[in-house]
């Protein structure tokens, strides 16, 4: 439980007629302090009623089995269930509430409990739900032996040991705990010393999860108990069910005093867990230089790898502890060691932004051109994580041939993760802007099929990064899926305008969905303002009316509703080998409600055209659209025909530059369909300003 629980606490009782109070004063206690308070409070509030050892005594329905209250009610109170330092879930060690140490008849047990002041106790317990701490008082059963241990009453415990047969005292509970485990876990050295003298055969007894009393004393950082057990010749090299020794647990606790004590009594420094983790791995994780020196001086192997191929130097570089890295290198650690995924200490230091560690590793000739299984170097990962200082440090020392070999440029990663500062550094360093990405695992499944850094920037909507790349010479037309299509789909008008000014192909098509008209129109059916922008920059409106069937009947349509959201489209079986026509697309029931405004806008950018039977049918389906058919008739204004001819002669590439030429503003507005109201007021043959 966090030591900073300041949330309001609700108080409840789980049995009738039990007193309760506000325990908010305990909100800032640590977990260890709270457990100790629970036990002592419970022992001090023994009920005056006669105890009973029947099964209904230990009603745990109101007390979760892994709460401190449940632990306090056990003959052997194990630690709370939790996780170890590697994230592995520890097995639950809380036994079922009963009296496992009592093997005599119920009547004898009752008398023994009465004579030893055992029996029912009022136990303070708590649970936390949704930030609220609920405190309750429960009646539970606690044996006389457990009671004596937890209050460290050596005199009472000695009397019990003299009266109860050793065979009875030696019996473990369902979790495999003995009274030695109880005393070691509780940190009661005097009681533990007495139990060790009385029950020496239980000194190395293991619980169901393989923990000895020494394991428990170390896990609770009870140094006096650890010393007591070691002096009694407890074995410091027994592993629990996770393969952890007491020395490993002491390193987990970052307790230098316990590590030194265990080493003095023969703890082996290179015993690894079942995952290959050694005490040195754990000490390095905590960046504890003193502990690392103790282990190394005791003979710890600095090159030992865990099951993932990770050695202590790798962990130290990952943590960014320069002194520990220096110590391990001085003791013979390999600066170019690689984990199973190919990552090196230098890679990890670059990933986590530890520039001082990188300097140290490079001074010991670390190879910064080693790649991981994805083909990434330390430079790549530094660019991905946005460490511009490290990128500047690594650029002069990284071979550019690595980029060509792996097919991944740091530019790709910087653009993909919006690292604009890194992007600027890489551009200034001369990295090739138009490097094509070799598709890695999963990238082919990306619906945008990104190939260039520019495409990543457009997909992310990062206008600044895209402008930076375009200014540096990025080609907006080399990707399989043109970035312009992505900008249209995202309705990103600033991005779209910028791409058009830098020469993006306004007539680009979707490769996986071939059409007989510009593919960008697929994604702006509901955005006529975007469609007009595309048409202003030369989108081919005439292609929308080139129907192969003309006034004849069209074949039945196939719905293409998926077009509205995805670029990675599956071509219907009946369309393989031929491109979809605009009339088939716009007549689809999903898109036909917007057909009128779209066709109306397209006809503004065409001369006289023949409307096919399907488009005519669509327009006639809505009486408000009947006027649109007149726009396709030959009687079109002369000024409009002149405008179309000028735009045709100028070409798309020059249209983008028209605004920068010394031309009359009225002419520019005319060519880009501005001030239409003024032109409508003019006579039909008035084009003297052209």
Each residue's pLDDT tens digit, 253-284: 999 999 999 999 999 998 999 999 999 999 99
3-state secondary structure of 84: coil
CATH superfamily, domain 270-367, is Ankyrin repeat-containing domain (1.25.40.20)
Which tokens is 645 given? 């001819």
- Per-residue b/e over 616-634, b at no fewer than 16 CB within 10 Å? eebbeeeeebeebeebbee
Q: What is the pLDDT of residues 2-32, one digit of tens each?
A: 333 333 222 233 333 333 333 444 555 555 5
- In the chain, CATH 1.25.40.20 sits at 178-268, 270-367, 394-501
- For β-strands 132-142 and 119-129, DSSP reports them as antiparallel
CA–CA separation, 69 and 202 (whole Å): 26
Q: What is the pLDDT of residues 530-545, one digit of tens each?
A: 999 999 888 999 899 9
- 279-288, 357-366, 368-377, 651-660: least confidently modelled range: 651-660
Q: Which residue is associated with the tokens 């990962």?
A: 381
Q: At the topology level of CATH, where does 394-501 sit?
A: 1.25.40
170 φ/ψ angles, rounded to the nearest 5 degrees: -85, -10
Bridge partners of residue 132, in order along the sequence: 129
Query: Rounded to the nearest 10 degrees, what angle do helices 256-264 and 289-297 cross at?
Result: 10
CA–CA separation, 392 and 376 (whole Å): 17
3-state helix, strand, coil in the chain (%, to 5): 45, 5, 50
CA–CA separation, 381 and 228 (whole Å): 50
CA–CA separation, 477 and 226 (whole Å): 71
Q: What is the gyration radius of the CA atoms in the chain, in angstroms? A: 39
| Per-residue pLDDT at 135 | 53
Closest CA to 204 of 190, 220, 184: 184
Please, which pLDDT band fits residue 413 given cuts at 50, 70 and 90?
very high
Say if CB 39 and CB 106 are below 8 A apart: no
Please, which pLDDT band fits residue 502 given cuts at 50, 70 and 90?
very high
Categorise residue 266: left if φ over 0, alpha if ψ from -120 to 50, beta otherwise: left
Say if CB 28 and CB 6 are below 8 A apart: yes
Say if CB 513 and CB 569 are below 8 A apart: yes
Secondary structure letter of residue 142 according to DSSP: E
The secondary structure element, H or E, covering residue 123 is: strand 119-129
CA–CA separation, 47 and 658 (whole Å): 95
CB atoms within 10 A of CB 355: 15
| Per-residue pLDDT at 680 | 42
The secondary structure element, H or E, covering residue 148 is: helix 144-150
Which tokens is 170 given? 């030696």
| Per-residue pLDDT at 325 | 96
Which tokens is 255 given? 């307790």
The answer to whether the predicted template modeling score (pTM) of the entire model surpasses 0.75 is no
Secondary structure letter of residue 580 according to DSSP: B
Please, which pLDDT band fits residue 65 given cuts at 50, 70 and 90?
very low
* Those residues with Cβ within 8 angstroms of residue 330's Cβ, 6 or more apart along the chain or in another chain: none
| Per-residue pLDDT at 383 | 95
Which CATH code is given to the segment(s) 178-268? 1.25.40.20
| Per-residue pLDDT at 526 | 87
Q: What is the largest CA-CA distance in the chain?
A: 123
Closest CA to 321 of 341, 337, 344, 345: 345
3-state secondary structure of 506: coil
Categorise residue 89: left if φ over 0, alpha if ψ from -120 to 50, beta otherwise: beta
- Per-residue b/e over 235-272, b at no fewer than 16 CB within 10 Å? bbebbbebebbbbbbbbbbbbbebbebbbebebbbebb
Residue 404, pLDDT > 60, answer: yes
């Amino acid at each position: 439980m966090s030591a900073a629980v300041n949330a309001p606490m609700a108080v409840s009782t789980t049995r009738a007629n039990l007193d309760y109070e506000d325990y908010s004063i305990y909100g800032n206690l640590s977990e260890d302090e709270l457990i100790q308070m629970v036990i002592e409070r419970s022992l001090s509030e023994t009920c005056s009623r006669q105890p009973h050892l029947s099964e209904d005594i230990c009603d745990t329905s109101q007390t979760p089995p892994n709460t401190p209250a449940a632990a306090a009610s056990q003959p052997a109170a194990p630690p709370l269930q939790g996780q170890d330092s590697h994230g592995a879930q520890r097995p639950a060690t809380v036994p079922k509430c009963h009296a496992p140490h009592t093997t005599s008849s119920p009547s004898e047990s009752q008398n023994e409990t009465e004579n030893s002041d055992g029996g029912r106790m009022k136990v303070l317990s708590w649970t936390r739900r949704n930030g609220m701490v609920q405190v309750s008082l429960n009646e539970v059963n606690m044996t006389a032996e457990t009671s004596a241990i937890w209050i460290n009453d050596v005199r009472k415990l000695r009397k019990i040991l003299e009266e109860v047969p050793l065979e009875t005292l030696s019996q473990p509970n369902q979790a495999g705990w003995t009274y030695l485990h109880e005393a070691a876990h509780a940190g009661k050295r005097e009681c533990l010393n007495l139990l060790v003298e009385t029950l020496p055969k239980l000194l190395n007894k293991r619980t169901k999860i393989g923990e000895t009393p020494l394991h428990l004393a170390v896990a609770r950082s009870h140094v006096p108990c650890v010393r007591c057990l070691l002096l009694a010749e407890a074995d410091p090299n027994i592993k629990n069910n996770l393969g952890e020794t007491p020395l490993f647990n002491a390193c987990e606790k970052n307790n230098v005093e316990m590590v030194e004590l265990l080493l003095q009594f023969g703890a082996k420094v290179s015993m690894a867990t079942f995952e290959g983790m050694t005490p040195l791995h754990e000490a390095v994780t905590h960046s504890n230089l003193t502990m690392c020196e103790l282990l190394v001086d005791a003979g710890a192997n600095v090159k030992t790898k865990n099951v993932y191929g990770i050695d202590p130097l790798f962990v130290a570089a990952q943590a960014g502890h320069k002194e520990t890295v220096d110590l391990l290198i001085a003791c013979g650690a390999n600066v170019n060691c690689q984990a199973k995924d190919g990552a090196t200490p230098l890679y990890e230091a670059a990933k986590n932004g530890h520039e001082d560690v990188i300097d140290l590793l490079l001074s010991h000739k670390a190879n910064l051109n080693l790649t991981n299984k994805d083909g990434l170097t330390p430079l790549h990962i530094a660019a991905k994580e946005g460490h511009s200082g490290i990128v500047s440090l690594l650029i002069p020392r990284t071979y550019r041939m690595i980029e060509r070999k792996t097919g991944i440029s740091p530019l790709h990663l910087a653009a993909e993760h919006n690292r604009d500062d890194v992007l600027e550094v890489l551009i200034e360093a001369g990295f090739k802007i138009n490097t094509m990405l070799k598709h890695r695992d999963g990238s082919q499944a990306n619906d945008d099929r990104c190939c260039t850094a520019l495409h990543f920037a457009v997909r992310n909507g990062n206008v600044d990064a895209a402008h930076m790349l375009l200014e540096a010479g990025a080609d907006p037309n080399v990707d399989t899926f043109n970035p312009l299509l992505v900008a249209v789909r995202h309705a990103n008008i600033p991005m779209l305008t910028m791409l058009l000014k830098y020469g993006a192909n306004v007539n680009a098509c979707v490769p996986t969905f071939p059409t007989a008209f510009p593919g960008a129109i697929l994604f702006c059916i509901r955005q006529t303002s975007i469609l007009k922008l595309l048409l202003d920059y030369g989108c081919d409106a005439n292609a929308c009316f080139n129907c192969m069937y003309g006034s004849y009947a069209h074949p039945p349509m196939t719905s293409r509703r998926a077009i509205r959201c995805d670029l990675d489209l599956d071509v219907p079986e009946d369309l393989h080998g031929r491109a979809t026509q605009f009339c088939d697309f716009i007549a689809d029931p999903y898109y036909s409600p917007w057909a009128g405004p779209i066709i109306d806008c397209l006809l503004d950018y065409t001369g006289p055209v023949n409307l096919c039977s399907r488009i005519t049918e669509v327009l006639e389906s809505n009486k408000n659209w009947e006027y649109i058919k007149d726009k396709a008739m030959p009687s079109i204004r002369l000024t409009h025909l002149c405008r179309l001819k000028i735009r045709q002669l100028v070409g798309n590439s020059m249209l983008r530059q028209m605004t920068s030429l010394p031309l009359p503003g009225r002419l520019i507005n005319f060519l880009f369909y501005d001030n239409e109201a003024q032109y409508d007021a003019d006579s039909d043959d008035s084009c003297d300003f052209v």
